[in-house]
Amino acid sequence: MSLQSSVSHHPPSIWRLLLTPPLDGPLNMAVDEALLDAVAEGRSPPTLRLFAWTPPCLSLGYAQPLSDVDMERLRAHGWDLVRRPTGGRAILHTDELTYSVIAPMDEPRVLGGVIESYRRLSAGLLRGLQILGLHVRAYKKTAAPNPSPSTSLPVCFEVPSDYEITANGRKLLGSAQVRKRGAVLQHGSLPLVGDIARICDALRFESEAERERVKARVRERATTAQAALGREVSWDEAARAIRTGFAEALKLEFLEAALSADEQAAAEKLRTEKYAAQEWNERSVTGKG
């Protein structure tokens, strides 16, 4: 059964669409958490958010050690740093379209476990990428589980996880999820243009030779929309396609809106007190957030 046909039995539903302007890393993650809280409390409807980042930002997974980052190199490039509320490895957010899905856990499209909801939401992502002209598939792992955190590599786009999306055998779109107070936040990154391996310029390696080896491996295993299509894809074109993909594959109608005043205020507070705070971004991986 295809991913798209597996969700076709869901009744039509109306979700909110947010097209937020490019924001810095701490504010982007603060907005996602503010939306998660608002949906969990029933103050906001299920939401698809599409956004970008300025300046470029290196995000770390919730439990990823800060020691993976070469802070001197990061600052030299003028890149931000933020720790995500979701798991996974490091991502450099630049020249990309980022999406967030925020919905109550009883919404049929995210019902069940993490992998099951990944599978359903992947149908919308796959359809959107197909609209762009990409030949894509949702990767289903059949090999051994990911290595333990102590031995795993720091770059998210090196290895696809269950139901993340590949093009021409290379990872194209990665996602991560967190569940809190009866609501789900899933967000993910679609690299549009540029060198997929430039993230390595902000990570710590034992030698420059090792850095170059990892760069080569990332280029072999991951790709961008431009590289996969052979043409440049703008943020606006990608956003239209992803919106349409979710609408078609998941039987959704979108009402475009803006952040509410309460959501905006909550996001600004979260940015100051959490996502821009040294205590959060540099905390021990065994600490609590």
The residues that are catalytic are 156
Give the CA angle between residues 275, 279, 281 to the nearest 5°.
Answer: 50
Asked if 58 and 92 count as a contact pair (C-beta separation under 8 A), the reply is yes
Alpha helices in 54-173 (DSSP H): 71-77, 114-131
CA dist., res. 165 & res. 171, Å (int): 6
Paired tokens of 133: 């002209």
Q: Name the residue among 77, 279, 110, 89 with its Cα closest to residue 182.
A: 110
Asked if 196 and 103 count as a contact pair (C-beta separation under 8 A), the reply is no
SS3 263: helix
Give the CA angle between residues 41, 273, 181 to the nearest 5°.
Answer: 25
**Residue 124 burial by Cβ neighbours in a 10 Å radius (0-12, 13-18, 19+):** buried
Give the CA angle between residues 39, 40, 44 to the nearest 5°.
Answer: 20
Beta carbons within 8 Å of 118's beta carbon, 6+ residues apart: 162, 163, 164, 175, 177, 186
Angstrom CA distances, 190 to 112, 168, 187, 218, 225, stand at 25, 15, 10, 15, 8
